[in-house]
Structure 1
Amino acid sequence: MFKSLRNQLVLALCVLASVVGVVQGVSSYQLSKAGMSALLDLRLEQVASRMRGGFADSLPVIPARGSQPVRDIVITIWKDDQAAPYRSTEPSLALPRDAAAGFVTTAVDGEAWRIYTLRESSMVIQVAQRSAVRRELAQERAVSTLWPMIVLVPLLWIAVLLVVRRSLRKLNRLGAQVQEIDVSHFQQLSTSGVPIEIRPFINSINLMINRLAQSIESERKFISDAAHELRTPLTALQLQADNLQPHIAPSNQERFRELRGGITRSGGLIAQLLRLARADATLQADMLTRVDVAAVVVDTVAEVLPIAMKRGIDIGADEMAGAFVLAVEADIGIAVRNLVSNAVRYTQDGGKVDLSVQVREDMVWINVTDTGPGIAEELLPRVFDRFFRANTQIEGSGLGLSIVTAIANKYGGMASLRNRQDGPSGIVASIGFPLASSDS
């Protein structure tokens, strides 16, 4: 999870937003409490000032005991040297007359009070409020300031997630383009709309793509040139061997047949190298035509049918969906021929090879199923490697499946090979191509 840059950014920004929200909330809470306390003090001071202006006489001389609400303030007025208060809203509460002028918090009758004392020449005015009531009022007001933070922080988390996702969307598209790069597709990455900080990285990737394309092209040219150059002397060698055969002594005929077999195998390898070079070649759009896949499969079966009949192999097609692909017909034929030839080569005499053409999710799939021995599961990931042979006991170049996958990649398709799971041993080889649209 934390290997993802997006997750790291989202987590870091959300933690930062949460910390800022908590600090802001605590600060707002404390400031609100302090502000409320100052406001309540101001209220006590203002009430005392009003009492000095003649409002003291409006207070009842003997108020009803317990008639004052708990949350209200208490006013006590002292005059001259009288032992009892001149006026008081709560006579049972003995406020300390000798309290210093100004504000003081002290205990009265076992309860904390906030008292403001105003001293005049002939009068002492005291206005008091319970500290518990003040705390309750301050907390109620302070808690109300936390609700915006409680609501805004989760909204900020969502905003961070959306902004980061949107910011990295371009990188996701670039990642998808990089995944599409293969030996038949070396499209450079666009820097349009890419953040400035990412452009050096994209430019480096484009330089690497150029170097890789040049290297692959050099390899293709070498394989093609080498195959062309070798084909001529091998052809000449084959002709000389044919001319020499009548003059070979009977005792050397076996060795001569081995020599001719080696020449034939070398010729086959060179032919496969030429096919591989053509499969790797850059695709030209003007060479594409609508290819009838079913017709290609039928032609391929017709080509290998004599070999299959000679070995008693039952070869046929059990499902032939009508479908077209946009490609070079020779490429499709080579790919199908290699799959079918492999199936016939690895199937024992008297076995069976089935072909089918299916259309699934805008893809045309050609499946070749045989009753051969199958392939060890640990070797399956390597079967498309060049010159790799899963069974070295059977003659082959190790290039057939490499040509198949090269042709599939060339047209944006895919190739796969798996062991049968329906009972008999054998292989299911499949190659898929994008379905051609009806107007192409």
Structure 2
Amino acid sequence: MTHSLRNRLVLALCILVTVVGVVQGISSFRLSEEGMRALLDLRLEQVANRMRNGYIEALPAFPSRGSQPPRDIVVTIWKGDADAPYRSTDPALRLPRDAPSGFVTNLVGGEPWRIYTLRETSLVIQVAQRSSVRHELAEEQALNTLWPIAILVPLVCFAVVVVVDRSFDRLTRLGAEVQSIDAGNLQSLPTAGVPLELLPFIDSINRMIRRLARSIEVERKFISDAAHELRTPLTALQLQADNLQRDIAPGNQERFQELRKGIARSGGLISQLLRLARADASLEAGALERVDVSTVVVDAVAEVLPIAAARSIDIGAEEMTSAYVQAIKADVGVALRNLVSNAIRYTPDGGKIDLSLQVRDDLVWVEVTDTGPGIAEDLLPRVFDRFFRANFDIEGSGLGLSIVKAIANKYGGTTTLRNRNDGQTGIVASISFRQAHDYAPVRALDAAHS
């Protein structure tokens, strides 16, 4: 199972922020409750002190019953040894006169009250408040402290997501650059702006890229040198075979022709290896030219027309659009000739091959569609591998599509190969090149069939 480092980091930080917020909220709630209770106690004490300082007579001697709101405090004044209070804001409520000085919580009238008692020589002042009211007031005040935290935690989580995403942007770009690395693009990854923690990782990748580049360059040089070295003796062998043909006894002619075909196949393989070496070679910007792809398509078709005519294969263009690319014309020609030659090789006699040239998403696409037997779906991912052949009954070197892919990669294009899905058997082979923009407006060409 694949885990996302970004998601795990965001989740961990959000959980941490939430836990800290919850702990802070609980602490703030408790502290606020305690602070509110202390403030309410201070209020009771202050009222008692004011009563002692001359405000006793301000209390009504005979207050009306039910005139005091239930949330308000109750003040009771006792004088001498009288059994009844001297003054009281609620005569129906009998506070315990014998309560100790200071604060105490007692049950009065069946409910808990917070009572502050102040004792003088012949005077007892009691100030009380319902515990339920105190709890309600403390809770309301404490809840008010939770709103900032309740708003702040989601905002911090959102900030965590933004910060993590921005931090991972560089990794995402590096990932895209790593994905673009292949045999045609072996540029080292940039280290500018890379976090220090990632530098060792990037350096190791760059060292690997350099080793891979050296290895591929050695392979390319070997293929090129070997092909050059082998071409000369094979050409000499072909000439010698041609010179010997008239001296071969009639009974040995068949075997001699097989020998000549073998020499020719070897020569063709050497030529393909040379083309592959050239396709893999580094691109020199000075060698690029403005190439009319439609002209190259016409040339590729003209080259195979005799073979197509001999096998009654109908080859032509369904859609042709004038399009230009910045490339080496010989490379474009090799790629298109290989696609068309492949289609000729796999299309049965009397079949049909259609070519199309289109411009889509700033890319010039050439598609070659044949009516051959197609390729098994499980073999399609391997068709661009070097020396891979899907059908050993048909002669070939297994390098043609590898050359096409190497040329496409060289110019930043792509290659695809898929079975037809229009009810017919066959293959749709495509290659794309980046479009050049410094030419006249696009014009449509008439489709021509031979």
Note whether the superposition's TM-score is higher than 0.5. Answer: yes
Cα distance, 1:426–1:439 mapped onto 2, change above 3 Å:
closer
What is residue 280 of structure 1 aligned with on the other side?
280
Answering whether residue 382 of structure 2 is matched by residue 382 of structure 1, we say yes
Q: Residue 118 of structure 1 aligns to a residue in which SS?
A: strand
Cα distance, 1:2–1:56 mapped onto 2, change above 3 Å:
farther
Query: Deviations 1:297-329 (Å, cap 9, x if unpaired)?
Result: 000100000000001001111111000011000
What is residue 437 of structure 1 aligned with on the other side?
437
Shift of 1:437: 1.6
2:377 and 2:295 map into 1 onto residues whose CA distance is: 33
2:209 and 2:198 map into 1 onto residues whose CA distance is: 17
Question: Residue type of the partner of 1:224?
Answer: S
Q: Residue 304 of structure 2 aligns to a residue in which SS?
A: helix
Per the normalisation by structure 2, the TM-score is 0.97
Answering whether residue 20 of structure 2 is matched by residue 20 of structure 1, we say yes
What is residue 208 of structure 2 aligned with on the other side?
208
Shift of 1:438: 1.6
2:176 and 2:2 map into 1 onto residues whose CA distance is: 21
What is residue 4 of structure 2 aligned with on the other side?
4
Q: Residue 391 of structure 2 aligns to a residue in which SS?
A: coil
1:181 and 1:49 map into 2 onto residues whose CA distance is: 85
Give the ranges of 4+ consecutive aligned residues of structure 1 lying more than 2 Å apart after TM superposition. none
Question: Residue type of the partner of 1:434?
Answer: R
Shift of 1:72: 0.4
> Is this contact kept in 2: 1:420–1:426, CA < 8 A?
yes
Cα distance, 1:165–1:29 mapped onto 2, change above 3 Å:
same
Query: Deviations 1:14-57 (Å, cap 9, x if unpaired)?
Result: 00000000001111111100000000000000000001111111
Q: Residue 319 of structure 1 aligns to a residue in which SS?
A: strand
1:439 and 1:62 map into 2 onto residues whose CA distance is: 108
2:247 and 2:191 map into 1 onto residues whose CA distance is: 70
* Equivalent residue runs for 1:357-396 within 5 Å: 357-396=357-396
Q: Residue 355 of structure 1 aligns to a residue in which SS?
A: strand
How many residues are paired up?
440
What is residue 423 of structure 2 aligned with on the other side?
423
Question: Residue type of the partner of 1:414?
Answer: T
> Is this contact kept in 1: 2:280–2:410, CA < 8 A?
yes
Answering whether residue 399 of structure 2 is matched by residue 399 of structure 1, we say yes
Q: Which has the higher mean CA deviation after the structures are superposed, 292-301 or 51-60? A: 51-60
Question: Residue type of the partner of 1:148?
Answer: P
Q: Residue 430 of structure 2 aligns to a residue in which SS?
A: strand
Across the aligned residues of Structure 1 and Structure 2, the Cα RMSD in angstroms comes to: 1.0
Query: Deviations 1:49-81 (Å, cap 9, x if unpaired)?
Result: 001111111111111111000110000011111
Shift of 1:2: 6.8
What is residue 134 of structure 1 aligned with on the other side?
134
What is residue 343 of structure 2 aligned with on the other side?
343
2:164 and 2:322 map into 1 onto residues whose CA distance is: 47
1:189 and 1:419 map into 2 onto residues whose CA distance is: 37
Q: Residue 198 of structure 1 aligns to a residue in which SS?
A: helix
Shift of 1:190: 1.0
1:192 and 1:370 map into 2 onto residues whose CA distance is: 49
What is residue 197 of structure 1 aligned with on the other side?
197
Per the normalisation by structure 1, the TM-score is 0.99
What is residue 62 of structure 1 aligned with on the other side?
62
2:2 and 2:41 map into 1 onto residues whose CA distance is: 53
What is residue 90 of structure 1 aligned with on the other side?
90
1:168 and 1:237 map into 2 onto residues whose CA distance is: 62
Q: Residue 315 of structure 1 aligns to a residue in which SS?
A: strand
Shift of 1:171: 1.1
Q: Percent identity?
A: 71
What is residue 48 of structure 2 aligned with on the other side?
48
1:198 and 1:418 map into 2 onto residues whose CA distance is: 40
What is residue 219 of structure 2 aligned with on the other side?
219
Query: Deviations 1:110-149 (Å, cap 9, x if unpaired)?
Result: 0110000011111010000000100110011011110001
Shift of 1:439: 6.6
Q: Residue 63 of structure 1 aligns to a residue in which SS?
A: coil
Query: Deviations 1:395-420 (Å, cap 9, x if unpaired)?
Result: 00000000000000110000000111
> Is this contact kept in 1: 2:324–2:439, CA < 8 A?
no
Query: Deviations 1:78-121 (Å, cap 9, x if unpaired)?
Result: 11111111110000001000001100011001011000001111
* Equivalent residue runs for 1:266-277 within 5 Å: 266-277=266-277
1:75 and 1:438 map into 2 onto residues whose CA distance is: 97
* Equivalent residue runs for 1:103-118 within 5 Å: 103-118=103-118
Answering whether residue 348 of structure 2 is matched by residue 352 of structure 1, we say no
Query: Deviations 1:192-242 (Å, cap 9, x if unpaired)?
Result: 111111101111110000000000000000100000000011001001101
What is residue 447 of structure 2 aligned with on the other side?
none
Cα distance, 1:191–1:335 mapped onto 2, change above 3 Å:
same
What is residue 124 of structure 1 aligned with on the other side?
124
Q: Which runs of 5+ in 1 are unaligned?
A: none
> Is this contact kept in 2: 1:355–1:366, CA < 8 A?
yes
Q: Which runs of 5+ in 2 are unaligned?
A: 441-450
Question: Residue type of the partner of 2:271?
Answer: A
Q: Residue 366 of structure 2 aligns to a residue in which SS?
A: strand
Q: Residue 54 of structure 1 aligns to a residue in which SS?
A: helix
Answering whether residue 108 of structure 2 is matched by residue 99 of structure 1, we say no
> Is this contact kept in 2: 1:2–1:8, CA < 8 A?
no
Cα distance, 1:318–1:152 mapped onto 2, change above 3 Å:
same
Shift of 1:176: 1.1
* Equivalent residue runs for 1:237-386 within 5 Å: 237-386=237-386
Question: Residue type of the partner of 1:289?
Answer: E
1:228 and 1:393 map into 2 onto residues whose CA distance is: 29
Question: Residue type of the partner of 2:388?
Answer: F
